Each structure stands twice: as C-alpha cells, then as structure tokens.
Amino acid sequence: MKRYTLEEIGKLAGVSRATVSRVINHYPHIRPEIRERVEAVIAQTGFQPNAVARSLVSSRTNIVGLIIPSTVEEVFTDPYYAYVINGISQSCNTNGLILSLFLIHSLEEERNVIQAVVGTGLVDGLIITASRRNREMLATLLASQLPIVFIGQPDNDTNTHYVDVDNVSGGYLATEHLISLGYENIGIIVSYMNKSGEARLDGYKRALNDHGLPFSEDLVAYGDYSLESGYHAMKQLIKRKPQAVFATNDTMAFGAIRALKEAGLRVPEDIAIIGFDDLPSAQRSENPALSTIHQPIQQTGLDAVELLLKVVNGEVQKAQHQSFRQRWLFAKAAAHLERLAREAKNTATS
Amino acid sequence: MKRYTLEEIGKLAGVSRATVSRVINHYPHIRPEIRERVEAVIAQTGFQPNAVARSLVSSRTNIVGLIIPSTVEEVFTDPYYAYVINGISQSCNTNGLILSLFLIHSLEEERNVIQAVVGTGLVDGLIITASRRNREMLATLLASQLPIVFIGQPDNDTNTHYVDVDNVSGGYLATEHLISLGYENIGIIVSYMNKSGEARLDGYKRALNDHGLPFSEDLVAYGDYSLESGYHAMKQLIKRKPQAVFATNDTMAFGAIRALKEAGLRVPEDIAIIGFDDLPSAQRSENPALSTIHQPIQQTGLDAVELLLKVVNGEVQKAQHQSFRQRWLFAKAAAHLERLAREAKNTATS
DNA sequence: CTAAATATTGAGAGCGCTCTCAAGGTAGAG
DNA sequence: CTCTACCTTGAGAGCGCTCTCAATATTTAG
C-alpha cells in the first residue's frame, strides 16, 4: 500500500495541500463539491495523514504513557494490574489515544526509562500506578512539568493529580463486616508498599473504635501485596489466635488461606478471612469462598485517562485534583459462608 | 524544565545545529574540544532531542506495537498474556524501543485500531499474538507492508514471520508422559482458537500412535483456553471415563480439575491431569499439584522483539522466517504425584 | 448596481531534526 | 613550498503536516 502525502492527494484532487488538510480536519468553509472530490480521492487512496508529522507541528502526540513501577513479579502475581491496564487501554481506544506501556524491571531501568519518556516529548501525559514508594522518581517526574495522573495516592503531598478508591471506607467496611458477624479479635494484614495500606489500616482502626473494640499492634502483620507475604503474615498472626483476619488485598488473602490450611485450620470455621479487590479469582474461589471488598479497578483506569486528558487540555485548574470513587460493594460472600461464620463465633474463643 | 532545541544548544555552545546533531549521534570527525564543549552544554541543560522531529526525518519511530486480539476476558483469565507482555516490554527497554499496547475489546474496535495503527505510520513494526483466527485482520495487516511478527503460528500460510514454541512436541511429550505412567485411556481438551490447539492435538495423536494406542474422537473435547471451557469440556469427557486427560493449557486444566472435584473424583487418583504452559499458578498449585509442559512464554516475547527488529532493519531475507523454540521441560510434578498416579493405574479401569 | 461582508482557497513559513554538499583547514607526499 | 587527501564545520534543503495571511470569489446590504 503506497504511502501518500497531503501534497499528492491535493494534486490528485486538483487542490492544494492546505485544502486537503482542511477537509481532513473538518474545517468549515469548504465548497461542498471540493470537499467531496477530496474525500473521494482520500477514500480511493486510503490516505491517512502521517501521525508523526502531525505531532511535530501540533506538539501533541496523542500518546499516553502508563508506567508501572512494580517489580516484574507483582505485575503477574496480582491480576490487579491486568484490570488497570485494560481499563486504560479501553479508554484510550475510545478517545483516540495510543497507550504506551512502560514496565519497570529494575531501578536502573526505571531511571533510564523515565528520563527518556519525560525528555523526548513522546507522550502527552503519563499515568502512573502508585505501586511503590519512590521519591526519586516522583521528583524527576514533577520537575518535568509533564501532565501526570496517579492511580492510587502517591507518596508525597504535593499537588499531584490522582484517582483513587476510598481506602479508608474500604478498610472500615471490611472490618465492620467482620464485627457484624460477631468477631471481636480481628487481625489485619497490611501492605507497607504504598499509602493504600495505611489508609485501609486506618479504616480498620476506626471501625474497631466505633464499635468499642480495642486496637492492638499485635494483631497487625505486614506484607507487600504478594501471595507469599500474605502467607508469612498469616503464619505470624496465627500465634495471636485471631477469630478473623482482614487481608488488605485478595492476593494476600489467598496466601493467608494457604497458611491456615497448612496449619490445619478451617476457613472460615476456625478463622474467617476477608479480602480486598474483588478479583475474579476471589469471585470464583471456593473452598473457601472469599468475601472481599469490591474495588472498581477497571473504572479507575478509565477515570485516570479521562482526568489526564483534561489535564493535558488544560481544563483542570492549577489546584491539584483528586478524584475519589467510592462505589463500595461487598462481594457476593456466599450466604452459607456468613452462616458458617456466625456459627464459628460461638465456638472460637481467643 | 525548559525544552531546548538543537539550534539553542548550538548557540550556547557556539557551534551550529548540525554539529550538535553530530555530537548526539556520535559521529566521528569532531574536534575533541568542540565535542566536549557541546556535551557540557547538553549535560548542563539536560537537553534531549525531540523524538517526534527525529522520527519525522528518519521515518523511524522506535515504537513497536503489540496487538492482542483477544476478548478482554481472556487477557485476564490467562496469565499467559502477562508473561508475553512482560517479555516484550523487557526486550523493548533493552533495545531502546517503546512499546505501544493495543488491546482489542470488540470487532469494531479491532478494525479501527488496526486501520489507525497501520495507516498513520506511528509504529515501526507490529507484534501480534495469534490468539484468535482472524483472516480479515490478517489481510489488512499483510497488505500494509508493515513489518510484523506473530507470536504463535498465525492462521494463514503466507509468508509471515512468527515465533512459536513447538506445540507438536509439547503435545507429544505431555501424552507420552501420561502413557509412561501407565495410562491408556487418555482424553484431551483441545482449543479451537488457533493453530496451537491443532498442533498439540497432533502431538497427542502421534504419541498415541507411537505407543500403539488407538486414537478416538470420543476422547477429544474442545475449549477456548478459558477456565470455563475447560470445566465444560471435562464434564463432557467424564462420561468417557478416561484414566487421564491432557488439557492443552493450564487454565483449562484448572477448569477440568474443578469439574472433577465437583463430580467427586480425585485428581490424580481417579483421573490424572496434565496441563500446558507451566504458569506460576500451576507451579504453586497443590491439591492437586499440576503437572504441566513448560512453555518459555517470556522468552517468546523477547525473541519476537529481536526478530521484529531484524525485519525492520531489513536483515531478514525475503523468505519467511520461522523461529522455533523447543526448550521443553516437565514442570516439577511432585514426585509423590507420580507415585499416586502410578498407584492409580492399578485401580482405575475404563 | 456598488460597497461591504463573508466565504473559499493557495502560498509560504515553520515544527525540530538529519543529512548532503561544499567550503575552509590541516597534514602528508612529492 | 605546492598539491592532494582527508578532517571539520556550517548552510540549507526537506521530512509531512498545520496554520497564518493574503488574494480571490461570492453573497448580502444599501
């Protein structure tokens, strides 16, 4: 398929380059017959304007970059990212944007990639998952003036745009759910990877407090959102004999469940578990069915693109913009599970 | 951070635009003192040449597109894609390429996206997963003359470049493994989604044949590589009372196992299962531990980029290039599993 | 019917870079 | 010391497009 230029199309249609450009960009004030003639040539040749040339003059590439500064392992272990990517991709397709994906495999790579992405003007803006605390990267990025939207609250308090779920409410809901089932000695597995962990922990504390339950550091174990970390955290928590445990993401919840099984404990008869994310694997999991807090991950990706687009277009006031989403749902915790849990409270004693 | 141009850097260093360009592109024949002077200015200003302008003149964007023409569901259900993406991303980072990801969410979107990607000259080349049979898309792509490398043999016999694992050997190995364990009545769950299914089925048939076992259509069930399809295929196969089943990917194997559990059958005591892919979830799975054929998925992604790069650089002869990989390993099928299987053969009768 | 307003089009500059070409320098050969 | 060969640099064209500006064509008001 031959590549045409505006000039050539113009020649074929008997008009100038400029007129063809006008037709393509839907300018008003073009004589209908000329428009038709040009459109006919375009249709016949299959002409599409060169994106690079367009970008050069308009200084807009219509490319948005997605940076996921997690280790490789996480991106696989945690289906969370598949959802984020998908949401973003979908929104890009809808908005005529192109998605460039930057997975970071090492710290050195991080530096290089960020440098290149920021410096060469290839992307109009950046979406970054707040997977990990990283102040160095943040500094470079903010200095670049490039429009950026974070997914999840980033680890700094400057005025950055971000899209996030309401982690405090989420933590609160999860904990309250367990309390409502009659548990009093409730453990929590928190991630220290980013702010979301703190926030969910905060919700946990508040729920305990609101229901007159004491908070104890002993019942807090830490993980990094990975299956393994959930497993180890649970092993540690078992010693404290909690009646129930709130794992701050589903992946750690699965790790925790494995630890419990290994210890010969039944879930939820001996120890109840609630997760966070509502991943499909959680929805499908049986033996036991996992209760979990729904997080509209995919929607978050969509919103991030929309927000970024606004930032790029300068439609957002200078003040930092924080878009919260709080559509919280309990995952379909099977009814029988709740029944079991209720029975469990009668037998389990700390 | 101010954006500089070559011209400005030149002025600051007291040389012409052209000289700065030469320094950046490491041309020989530059007086050392001038080179140093220019490099100093570059370092001090943090100048990086504008990628778009570069692309315009060199007609090379250094962007490679990855098209995954699967339904959304698949991309999540099957961690396979996470690995492919990661391999490609890694290789891109190493080679100074930028990865653009195109997830296709609908057929209409497919048409639009492909059209845009192919027509606007934004990518230097394309990597496409042969997830689904799709001749329409293939036709457009081949007509475009754009360098393309498929991952997995595409559904046509024209001269397209592709990187693939040796599916026939894989199917052969899996089946032979089951045969070596003493099973004779071996079922198979095949995907009809792309050629890989046929090839794995072919390997299965050959293995049966080489070991003097009959092939029966009755023992073949079909799926689409999804968990659900594995589940349903197994339900169907159960009626034929196979002693063992070869699921042509791990995800379907998990579905099959679920079906067996539901039917009150033990794995592998009552029916043995072998998978294909060697996903980490398979490696980690217990209850039962899943035997599986290792597929170097990530490596495939790396190879695809390398090959594409060669094609783009015109280093590949016109003849189609087919790069096979056959590093086959049995996944660590726990020894006890094999023992169990061996015992099972004594009890299980068709 | 004429002037003013508006519609329609092309010429040309320029986005930031690469690359060719030619000019001026410098060094080695004769 | 002169000639040739190579080194070193800048000027300028041009990648394909957008957009301003000015010129021409058409319409409307008076």
Contacts of B112 (CB under 8 A, 6+ apart): A93
Nearest Cα to B119, choosing from A62, A49, A9?
A49
Q: What is the pLDDT of residue A263?
A: 92
Q: Please check whether residues A109 and A231 belong to one and the same domain.
A: no
Is B56 part of any domain? no
**Same domain flag for B172 and B247:** yes
Note whether B153 and B184 are same-domain residues.
no
**Lowest-confidence range among B19-28, B132-141, B215-224, B319-328?**
B319-328
* CB atoms B1 and A105 under 8 Å: no
The whole-number average pLDDT for the span B262-288 is 79
The answer as to whether B307 is a domain residue is yes
The answer on B290 and B186 residing in a single domain is yes
Closest A-chain CA to B110? A93
Task: Report if CB B49 to strand C is under 7 Å.
Answer: yes
3-state secondary structure of B332: coil
**Residue B107 reports pLDDT greater than 90:** no
CA–C1' gap, A15 and C11, in angstroms: 12
Between CA B146 and CA B152 the distance in angstroms is 18
CATH of the domain at A230: 3.40.50.2300
Residue B305 lies in a domain: yes
pLDDT above 90 (res A8): yes
Q: How far apart are CA B58 and CA A277, in angstroms?
A: 46
A57 within a domain of the structure (yes/no): no
How many CA atoms lie within 13 Å of B214's alpha carbon, on the beta-carbon side? 4
Question: Which pLDDT value is given to residue B344?
Answer: 44
**Model pLDDT, residue B346:** 46
Preferred mutation among B2, B55, B64, B144 to probe A, highest tally of A CBs within 10 A: B55
CA dist A221 and A190 (Å) reads: 6
- B178, containing H or E segment: helix B167-180
Nearest protein residue, CA measured to C1' of D9: B19
- Give me the mean pLDDT over the B213-239 stretch: 93
d(CA B278, CA A232): 24
Residue B154 is part of which domain span?
63-164+298-324
- Which tens digit of pLDDT belongs to each residue from B21-39? 999 999 988 999 999 999 9
Tell if A25 CB is < 7 Å from nucleic strand C: no
Pair (A111, A216) in one structural domain: no
Which region among A158-172, A181-195, A319-333, B81-95 has the lowest average model confidence (pLDDT)? A319-333
Range name among A214-218, B43-47, B314-318 with the lowest pLDDT average: B314-318
Residues 6+ apart with CB under 8 A from A277: A80, A249, A250, A251, A292, A293, A294, A295, A297
Q: Are B262 and B230 members of one domain?
A: yes
B54: the nucleotide nearest its CA (via C1') is C17
Regarding whether B339 and B200 lie in a shared domain, the answer is yes
* Tens of pLDDT, residues A294-328: 888 888 899 899 999 999 998 876 655 555 544 44
- Å separating the CA of residue A56 from the C1' of nucleotide C11: 21
Residues B147, B187, single domain; the answer is: no
**pLDDT of A339 over the 50 cut:** no
pLDDT at B345: 45
Q: B250 and B146: one domain?
A: no
Are residues A190 and A306 part of one domain?
no
User: Which tokens sit at A321?
Assistant: 């913009």
pLDDT band for position B55 (cuts 50, 70, 90)? very high
Q: Is residue A56 part of a domain?
A: no
CA of B3 vs chain A CAs: smallest distance (Å):
8
Assign A346 a pLDDT band (cuts: 50, 70, 90). very low
Q: Is pLDDT of B337 > 70?
A: no
Q: Is residue B314 over pLDDT 90?
A: no
Strand D proximal residues, B:10-29, Cβ < 7 Å: 10, 14-19, 22, 28-29
